[in-house]
Chains A and B, each alone.
Chain A
């Protein structure tokens, strides 16, 4: 018990929250600044599910009989998405969901999250495959960070490239025809600005939420891409989803963190900014035509690539780990 005295204020009783603008019955618990809605708990939860359904329909993400691998990190966004997809898929008995998780090997941080992912899959009765960087590439991310300390490339670069490959491999192992990831509206807007600021139009073009069917790749779709991260946090709280307490020790990718802070400030001052950037980036990606196609296969690992050697092998070669990678065999 800690005792604190506050400066007295003018006595004024707290006003009750307004009625929900959607059901017009229950008291609201959340004010949505970009639309002006005030929502009760159940209308808020329903509105997020409806938004995911609309996103899936608009971008024609799934077929009625899709076998969908859901990338589940164990964070709030992917756990929310897993719950929402499980609910939606009840109406599509021929569709299947399989959870896939990648254990990068980040001490504490990923261990805690994977436990949450396992628990959610048990509760929902969803098959769950966990693959690790160690078994796929011969090294954990912690070991890669040790090897690359002080180098020009940051942990997030290695983690991002390797995780993308690992998710595709896991989706292929479970014979999925879609790979759904829980990128939020914030992720989409941050990535759009990052790609513009780096002048990377190829990446900008390939970040469309509907993904593309390319040989060697399971089509990646982002059904959660219109859900603001703030609302994802509230949804997780309302649903009783566990929150990770360990922050990622490598999370400060300088440029993305700067952009995230900037966008948070802009969104607070000018609600709707995230949606405007996201919509502009989707329009740009559509006009740019989807990015480059892989023309061949990597001469080291055999995965599809547009060059001689894929990005994964280039990175692993930098740290002298291609032997382990080239000979690794995964059997499930």
Chain B
């Protein structure tokens, strides 16, 4: 199994109540599947629906924004760190 750390910054971390978690996944897998699993963990709310998420948040994999790779189709590998940063914070 591949271990993937997910860090949810700011309001996304607080609202989902997930914060920082580690997932164990069966490779190969894509970012979209990680996000889908997070949605399920959160109860399936649209907040972390992949389509909305890409418009309203940045997703980094090992410090690289996923649109600079292959977007939601980017493969995740053992030891990867995903960071999800909400774009709108208010204030």
Within B37-91, the residues touching A (CB, 8 Å) are: 37, 41, 54-56, 58, 60, 63-65, 67-70, 74-75, 77, 83, 85-91
Residues from chain A with Cβ under 8 Å of B70 in the complex: 14-15
Tell me, rounded to whole Å, the shortest Cβ–Cβ distance linking B77 to chain A.
Answer: 6
> Cβ of A5 and Cβ of B28 under 8 Å apart?
no
Residue of B nearest to A232 (CB): B87
> Cβ of A30 and Cβ of B87 under 8 Å apart?
no
Tell me, rounded to whole Å, the shortest Cβ–Cβ distance linking B32 to chain A.
Answer: 10
Within A230-263, the residues touching B (CB, 8 Å) are: 230, 233-234, 237, 243-248, 251, 260
- Footprint of B on A, CB under 8 Å? 1-15, 17-18, 27-31, 33, 38, 41, 73-78, 109-110, 113, 229-230, 233-234, 237, 243-248, 251, 260, 264-265, 267-268
Interface SS of chain A: loop
Q: Which 7 A-B pairs have the closest CB atoms?
A: A243-B10, A75-B91, A248-B90, A31-B68, A6-B29, A73-B91, A245-B14
Report if A237-B85 is in contact (Cβ < 8 Å); known contacts: A2-B21, A109-B90: yes
Q: How many A-B residue pairs have CB under 8 A?
A: 124
Per-residue A-contact encoding for B13-32, CB less than 8 Å = 1, 0 else: 11100000111111111100
- Footprint of A on B, CB under 8 Å? 1, 9-11, 13-15, 21-30, 33, 37, 41, 54-56, 58, 60, 63-65, 67-70, 74-75, 77, 83, 85-91
> Cβ of A233 and Cβ of B91 under 8 Å apart?
no
Residue of B nearest to A75 (CB): B91
Report if A14-B77 is in contact (Cβ < 8 Å); known contacts: A6-B25, A245-B14: yes
> Cβ of A28 and Cβ of B68 under 8 Å apart?
yes
> Cβ of B65 and Cβ of A234 under 8 Å apart?
yes
Residues from chain B with Cβ under 8 Å of A2 in the complex: 21-24, 41
Residues from chain B with Cβ under 8 Å of A29 in the complex: 60, 63-65, 68
Interface SS of chain B: mixed
Tell me, rounded to whole Å, the shortest Cβ–Cβ distance linking B40 to chain A.
Answer: 8
Report if A17-B69 is in contact (Cβ < 8 Å); known contacts: A243-B10, A245-B11, A247-B15: yes
> Cβ of A14 and Cβ of B88 under 8 Å apart?
no
**What CA separation (Å) do A49 and B74 show in the bound complex?**
30
Q: Which of A1, A14, A78 contacts B24 (CB 8 A)?
A: A1
Residue of B nearest to A113 (CB): B91
> Cβ of A247 and Cβ of B90 under 8 Å apart?
yes
Residues from chain B with Cβ under 8 Å of A11 in the complex: 28
Residue of A nearest to B57 (CB): A233
Residues from chain A with Cβ under 8 Å of B22 in the complex: 1-2
**What CA separation (Å) do A305 and B87 show in the bound complex?**
36
Residue of B nearest to A110 (CB): B91
Tell me, rounded to whole Å, the shortest Cβ–Cβ distance linking A137 to chain B.
Answer: 19
Residues from chain A with Cβ under 8 Å of B33 in the complex: 6-7
